[in-house]
Amino acid sequence: MAKRKFFYQSGVGAVVLLIIISLIAGSVLLLKNKSSKPQALPGTPILSFSTDPISVGSDENFDLVLKVNPNGAEFHAFELYAKYDLAKVDFQSQDDLSQNIASAYPLIISAIDTDNQTISVVGTRLGSAFTGSEDQEIARVKMKNISGSGAGLLFSWSEDTKLGDKIAFQKLNSQP
């Protein structure tokens, strides 16, 4: 009985309680920060999508931007195959679908396969390699949101997508 009284009177109980609460709060913050943005290991490039403008309304034209963050890796070549939902998006130019694809880099293939809903962008960067740890635009695809298609433009990377010479990378599929 005397030990219990000493425990409460000395403030040890309050200190122990404070430590437990701090550990719980720290764990919650750590989990929240880890889950907010996917992180790849250094040296593992990250492929992602964005749209320009960021918010796309019904029956509105936009650019689908194909991006890479080299994340410390170095490579020149890219084979990008992106999937899209034909019920939600179409292309701005219907005459020659490949004219909807633009890149600052030489492209070997720039094609759109409407049967398989696949955008193919294959090319290379001449001179210096892709490197660094910032997002870099590889290509833009001129698209339009189909009127009445509802919310949620979903784009995903095909399994055939490659960077460099067998470099492992992370694919971020997105709903811009």
Specify the pLDDT at position 35.
Answer: 46
Q: Cβ contacts of residue 101 below 8 Å, gap of 6+?
A: 107, 110, 111, 112, 119, 121, 139, 140, 141, 142
Q: How many domains does the structure of the chain reveal?
A: 2
Q: What are phi and psi of 135, to 5 degrees?
A: -65, 135
The answer to whether residues 160 and 107 belong to one domain is: yes
* Global confidence as pTM: 0.73
Which residues span the domain enclosing 19? 2-36
Q: 119 forms bridges with which residues in the sheet?
A: 82, 112
Rg (CA), the chain: 24
The answer to whether residues 12 and 81 belong to one domain is: no
The answer to whether residues 93 and 54 belong to one domain is: yes
**69 assigned to some structural domain:** yes
**74 assigned to some structural domain:** yes
**58 assigned to some structural domain:** yes
Q: Is 55 exposed, middle or buried (0-12, 13-18, 19+ CB in 10 A)?
A: exposed
Segment 33-82, tens digit of pLDDT: 544 445 667 778 999 999 998 888 888 999 999 999 999 999 999 999 99
Segment 110-166, tens digit of pLDDT: 999 999 999 999 999 999 999 999 999 999 999 999 876 666 788 999 999 999 888
